[in-house]
Chain A
């Protein structure tokens, strides 16, 4: 690999990659993201390679392990080019048939095509799948066509064009002006204007400055940053190089949690490849600009996603936040000016440089520009990664893209922004999703997790669940967060246990208010959000727990009982399933007997019963 020493050489390399590439050759793009791997993608990849070798098709077909197309619900996913056929839920056993039918005979395999959820009609092209039609895929546009471990693939799709534009035709000030004009706001949660952050760091005093990429995503149900780092690491790296050039930094760090092994691996490969090509390192593309990036692996502490805690962790200290009255853009890592942005923010940079601030500002709402990636999870039919323009409604995301709630159940709430985001009820489904609107209703954009809940979720219990999560993840430095969360958990346990009183609610409210106003970092002051929105929008459920000692969703164990109905034919399934031997058979065709004292309300009998003979009261 020859190190590129000028923009001309980069253009030449891009040209030669395009000439060598045979666009008529068939390519099987198989998603190699973590979700699909969990569903057996590695077996599928292996099977394809074996099958193609066995049939001697190596010269006619390429197998490409691509980034994540986002439709995790339907993994393992693959696309065949140039026919552009979209196959889903592919398993190892399907491979031989796919090779014969599609790659050799040129036909489609009907049963592996995506069936439209309402009409049942089979869909051939990815672009026609309803999950994709309402999305606007900018950052994820090439993920499913690029091998993330190949810089050539990224270059083929126009990669590093933004970097060469920035180095050749733009001064650092122009880049910052462009970022400011684009209206890009930080995708990590705070929504701070990126251009302004860069400007402050550029103007901060100090010879040594740092740029940092935050890939410490740790929210339950969130995988936007992981997928982006796994699926298209060069786009993040390119953004960081442009940012460093604009800010005047020569050193950068990617802080990625070690629990994301594939993201760590792909980021490392991307850095090595970029260094070999001279896109990273000293004298980038002959411009005289030097920039080095190192990877730092995080130990998996949720609080280390907070910028100051992350920097403490990077320094080798305990990952605890500090007050940000003096911004990290002035005094950050090792007390030097540091610009920290999250993965998605960095990935937006090349797009803005390539297409211009005007194009970017044309997408979205007045206060929030561009697209946003959400991980759509929970009680929704199409689990996956969606990229939508800002300003789309929650209803469109959950019902049009997400396909609605499975099992004919009723939608209840959606939580946006991770464990400290608020619950948004059904009457606010037409809310336009952007930073300010979500904050207005008591939730937040956060990094983009979206957890859908249905009628079988108890909102008091959900609030308790997230408080329990945060209680295990907080650092313990400041009093309101540490002691407050402990007491909040205690109070919520009282309510879900049927011991709550009206005074408890008043205490919860004033405790939350103190946590909001006096906590040291974002974890503490946003932690009351789920509790307060649950109280605000689902008060009747709280009242049922307190006044009637009843859990309307039938979730809170101390408030429910399992009962055997008269139609029980004594099949014995529940007798075997019960882990505490609380169910005894009485005889042929006679309903079994459930001992309420022994019963732990685990729900095993309810789950195994095929005749609806177990009733939850």
Chain B
């Protein structure tokens, strides 16, 4: 275990843990938009920037989601300067996605009412803040890498290859569940699962439960689950509720 202090409070954390986790274990609030326990740390949003002083006395600002705890570290999760930086960061995001309710709420929390920068057309970015949670989930959790980033720099967009229908997508919806700004929408209707992504739309067929007749899972996801688990396809013919009933 590693001993450190966060906002003056002594604490211990496992070696290799990040400062953000150690702070959260103490119930200290650090704003984040691109951190999630299911995927690896990435450091895109920079909102979790904290002030650290190492044992040797070196003082600087680091992103707490990526900085591993170390013996004798003194962390200040917020200072006047950090608060100003966080306000600036959220204002930059508000200019990018001016209509996102999630960003507006966070801006309010961080003390920014509005953005001093010109607001982009909401139809341009569709509330996508390029946090890479969806692409990381698709890559690291699902293992499909159906979505990723295209273009470089200010032209960067989250999309599927060539903005076309993706063969790799299994329609599981992990990207939809993890998105912090609801930039990805998912609806199941009339036997179809429809995704409205920031820059394209996709539709997938749902499978019907052999027992209750309810539409339960996308056909592609069933195929993926069968392959991953080694169970025969017929195993997934019934929905999870019907399967559970049998077991009971």
Which A residues contact B (CB, under 8 angstroms)?
Answer: 301, 318, 322-323, 325-326, 471-480, 482-487, 490, 507, 510-511, 513-514, 517-520
In the bound complex, do residue B154 and residue A325 qualify as a contact, i.e. CB atoms below 8 Å apart? no
23 interchain pairs, CB-CB under 8 A: A318-B149, A322-B43, A325-B62, A325-B68, A326-B68, A472-B153, A474-B152, A476-B149, A476-B156, A477-B44, A478-B44, A478-B45, A480-B88, A480-B92, A482-B130, A482-B154, A487-B92, A487-B117, A510-B88, A513-B85, A518-B85, A518-B89, A520-B43
Partner of B89, one of A322, A490, A514: A514
Total inter-chain residue pairs, C-beta < 8 Å: 94
In the bound complex, do residue B89 and residue A479 qualify as a contact, i.e. CB atoms below 8 Å apart? yes
- Inter-chain CA distance A1–B121, complex, in Å, is 67
Which residue in chain A gives the minimum CB-CB distance to B157?
A: A476
B1 at the interface (CB under 8 A from A): no
Cβ contacts under 8 Å, A484 to chain B: 92
B84 at the interface (CB under 8 A from A): yes
In the bound complex, do residue A479 and residue B116 qualify as a contact, i.e. CB atoms below 8 Å apart? no
B46 at the interface (CB under 8 A from A): yes
In the bound complex, do residue B93 and residue A479 qualify as a contact, i.e. CB atoms below 8 Å apart? yes
In the bound complex, do residue A325 and residue B89 qualify as a contact, i.e. CB atoms below 8 Å apart? no
Which residue in chain B gives the minimum CB-CB distance to A324?
A: B66
- Inter-chain CA distance A507–B153, complex, in Å, is 22
Question: How distant is A343 from chain B, measured CB to nearest CB, in Å?
Answer: 25
Question: How distant is A403 from chain B, measured CB to nearest CB, in Å?
Answer: 38
The 8 tightest CB contacts between A and B, nearest first, are: A476-B156, A483-B92, A514-B88, A323-B66, A518-B46, A474-B153, A476-B153, A514-B85
B126 at the interface (CB under 8 A from A): no
- Inter-chain CA distance A88–B130, complex, in Å, is 54
Cβ contacts under 8 Å, A483 to chain B: 92-93, 95-96
In the bound complex, do residue B89 and residue A507 qualify as a contact, i.e. CB atoms below 8 Å apart? no
Cβ contacts under 8 Å, B62 to chain A: 323, 325
In the bound complex, do residue A485 and residue B154 qualify as a contact, i.e. CB atoms below 8 Å apart? yes
Cβ contacts under 8 Å, B81 to chain A: 517
Question: How distant is A544 from chain B, measured CB to nearest CB, in Å?
Answer: 24
Which residue in chain B gives the minimum CB-CB distance to A321?
A: B43
Contact bitstring B42-55, A, C-beta under 8 A = 1, else 0: 11111001000000
Interface set, chain B 62-85, CB cutoff 8 A to A: 62-63, 66-68, 81, 84-85
Question: How distant is A545 from chain B, measured CB to nearest CB, in Å?
Answer: 19
- Inter-chain CA distance A76–B112, complex, in Å, is 60
B61 at the interface (CB under 8 A from A): yes
Cβ contacts under 8 Å, A476 to chain B: 130, 149, 151-156
Question: How distant is B246 from chain A, measured CB to nearest CB, in Å?
Answer: 46
In the bound complex, do residue A507 and residue B92 qualify as a contact, i.e. CB atoms below 8 Å apart? no
In the bound complex, do residue A480 and residue B46 qualify as a contact, i.e. CB atoms below 8 Å apart? yes
Indicate whether A518 sits within 8 Å of B68 (C-beta atoms), given known contacts A476-B153, A482-B156.
no
- Inter-chain CA distance A514–B89, complex, in Å, is 8
Question: How distant is A90 from chain B, measured CB to nearest CB, in Å?
Answer: 42
B213 at the interface (CB under 8 A from A): no
Cβ contacts under 8 Å, B42 to chain A: 477
Which residue in chain B gives the minimum CB-CB distance to A521?
A: B43
- Inter-chain CA distance A542–B117, complex, in Å, is 20
Which residue in chain B gives the minimum CB-CB distance to A325?
A: B67
Most chain B beta carbons < 10 A, residue from A472, A479, A490: A479
Cβ contacts under 8 Å, B43 to chain A: 322-323, 477-478, 520
Most chain B beta carbons < 10 A, residue from A301, A480, A513: A480
Question: How distant is B205 from chain A, measured CB to nearest CB, in Å?
Answer: 32
Most chain A beta carbons < 10 A, residue from B46, B63, B151: B46
Interface set, chain B 115-153, CB cutoff 8 A to A: 116-118, 129-130, 132, 149, 151-153
- Inter-chain CA distance A229–B149, complex, in Å, is 34
Cβ contacts under 8 Å, A519 to chain B: 46
Indicate whether A482 sits within 8 Å of B153 (C-beta atoms), given known contacts A325-B62, A490-B117, A518-B61.
yes
- Inter-chain CA distance A4–B81, complex, in Å, is 62
In the bound complex, do residue A518 and residue B156 qualify as a contact, i.e. CB atoms below 8 Å apart? no
Which residue in chain A gives the minimum CB-CB distance to B51?
A: A517
Question: How distant is A472 from chain B, measured CB to nearest CB, in Å?
Answer: 6
- Inter-chain CA distance A483–B61, complex, in Å, is 20
Which residue in chain B gives the minimum CB-CB distance to A503?
A: B116
Question: How distant is A486 from chain B, measured CB to nearest CB, in Å?
Answer: 5
Contact bitstring B101-117, A, C-beta under 8 A = 1, else 0: 00000000000000011
Most chain B beta carbons < 10 A, residue from A477, A513, A518, A520: A518
Cβ contacts under 8 Å, B66 to chain A: 323, 325
In the bound complex, do residue B49 and residue A471 qualify as a contact, i.e. CB atoms below 8 Å apart? no
In the bound complex, do residue A510 and residue B84 qualify as a contact, i.e. CB atoms below 8 Å apart? yes
Question: How distant is A467 from chain B, measured CB to nearest CB, in Å?
Answer: 11
In the bound complex, do residue A478 and residue B154 qualify as a contact, i.e. CB atoms below 8 Å apart? no
Cβ contacts under 8 Å, B96 to chain A: 483
Cβ contacts under 8 Å, A318 to chain B: 149
Question: How distant is A367 from chain B, measured CB to nearest CB, in Å?
Answer: 18
- Inter-chain CA distance A478–B85, complex, in Å, is 14
- Inter-chain CA distance A520–B117, complex, in Å, is 22
In the bound complex, do residue A507 and residue B85 qualify as a contact, i.e. CB atoms below 8 Å apart? no
Question: How distant is A607 from chain B, measured CB to nearest CB, in Å?
Answer: 33
In the bound complex, do residue B49 and residue A475 qualify as a contact, i.e. CB atoms below 8 Å apart? no
Cβ contacts under 8 Å, A507 to chain B: 116
In the bound complex, do residue B61 and residue A517 qualify as a contact, i.e. CB atoms below 8 Å apart? yes
- Inter-chain CA distance A490–B95, complex, in Å, is 12
Partner of B63, one of A323, A471, A511, A514: A323
- Inter-chain CA distance A326–B41, complex, in Å, is 13
Known: A477-B43, A477-B44. 20 other contacts (CB 8 A): A325-B68, A472-B153, A474-B154, A476-B152, A477-B132, A479-B93, A479-B129, A480-B46, A483-B92, A484-B92, A510-B84, A510-B88, A511-B88, A517-B61, A517-B85, A518-B49, A518-B61, A518-B89, A520-B46, A520-B63
